[in-house]
Amino acid sequence: MEKIYFGTGCFWCSEEIFKNLRGVNSVVSGYAGGSVKNPTYDQVSTGNTGHAEVVEVLYNSSVVKLEDLLEVFFTIHDPTSLNKQGADVGTQYRSIILYTNANQKILAEKVKTEFQKCFDKPIVTEIVPLQNFYKAEEYHQNFYKNNPNYGYCQVVINPKLEKFRKKYKDLVKQSK
């Protein structure tokens, strides 16, 4: 089992998509990349902590390849948008990969270079070592599952999830 951390804007979207991937054992919403210890959502949402909304992805590398996780990362958000994803604006919504070992860094940089060919604008995704990860408040965990009728889930997450399931049907967990 390995862990890697992704920021693709709002962590509610990332959490639900990565939870649907075969080989992913757990996904936890949280904060990373900043300097404030044990930040709260209210602090992070100001954009003054340096933290981004991220997800911790625990995956079985013998079931899902890191390259597949990275491909999903680069396709579920706009990695060319600096500190903004849709209506979410601020450094807390930046595109970021926080790696936990040298192999993850090498592969992240390789996949970023490959994906650059798909975009006219430069990819602004940060690729940095993880220093600390702070789990977000409990009400942020499993947000989509617990709040399927919430407006953001209906308008933003549902379309992303549908697009993801169509594009990556070979990687999606099979329903039991």
Interval 84-142: pLDDT, tens: 998 899 999 999 999 999 999 999 999 999 999 999 999 999 999 999 999 999 999 99
pLDDT of residue 175: 65
Stated pTM of the model: 0.95
Which is the catalytic residue, given 10, 13, 118, 153?
10
Q: What is the rounded CA–CA span in Å between residue 7 and residue 90?
A: 12
pLDDT of residue 131: 97
pLDDT digits (tens, 9 = 90+) for 27-39: 999 999 999 999 9
**Residues in a beta bridge with 24:** 59
Strand blocks (E) in 88-125: 88-89, 95-99
pLDDT of residue 75: 95
Mind listing the domains of the chain with CATH numbers?
2-167 (3.30.1060.10)
Report whether 74 contacts 112 (CB < 8 A).
yes
Mean pLDDT for 143-155 is 95
Catalytic residue check, 10: yes
Side-chain-side CA neighbours of 80 within 13 Å: the count stands at 10
Q: What is the rounded CA–CA span in Å between residue 145 and residue 12?
A: 10
pLDDT digits (tens, 9 = 90+) for 40-81: 999 999 999 999 999 999 999 999 999 999 999 999 999 999
At residue 91, the 3 state secondary structure works out as helix
Q: What is the rounded CA–CA span in Å between residue 12 and residue 25?
A: 17
Q: Which amino acid is at 49?
A: T
